[in-house]
Amino acid sequence: MEHQELLSGFIRPHVLHHAAEGNLYGNWMIEELAHHGYRISPGTLYPMLHAMERKGYLTSRVERAGRSQRRIYRATPYGMEALTMAREKIRELFHEVAPEDRGA
């Protein structure tokens, strides 16, 4: 992805948003991010998910999927709280950097 370092800050709130809405797993999130134009490898996303879990934003459990298994993530109450704050910050930033798109 071009400007990866600059834009990487948007990924964690995006992950948190989807983990608050429902269960997610790594490959699904990689595809979701790809729809938004972010190319992120498992080698980057998985450590990010682990770190977010370690910090208490996410909780995970292992689920069997056919013959393999995958780790399913969900936002914790602490993660929900962080998301509420992130939303305010995103809204504030949005109004400043994209004022022409403000609530029509």
Q: How far is the CB of 67 from Zn ion (least distance, A)?
A: 29
Burial (CB < 10 A; 0-12, 13-18, 19+), residue 62, is exposed
Question: In this structure, are residues 53 and 44 in contact, taking their beta carbons and an 8 Å threshold?
Answer: no
Count the residues of the shown chain that bind Zn ion, applying the rule CB under 5 A. Answer: 1
- Between 32 and 59, name the residue whose CB sits nearer to Zn ion: 32
> Which residues lie closer than 8 Å to 40 by C-beta, 6 or more apart?
1, 11, 30, 33, 34
Q: Which stretch binds Zn ion (CB under 5 A): 3-11, 27-35, 63-71, 74-82?
A: 27-35
Among the listed residues 26, 86, 101, the one whose alpha carbon sits nearest the alpha carbon of residue 60: 26
Token output for 47: 């450590």
- Between 69 and 74, name the residue whose CB sits nearer to Zn ion: 74
Q: How far is the CB of 54 from Zn ion (least distance, A)?
A: 23
- Between 32 and 74, name the residue whose CB sits nearer to Zn ion: 32
- Between 34 and 85, name the residue whose CB sits nearer to Zn ion: 34
**Which residues of this protein are in contact with Zn ion, per CB under 5 A?**
32
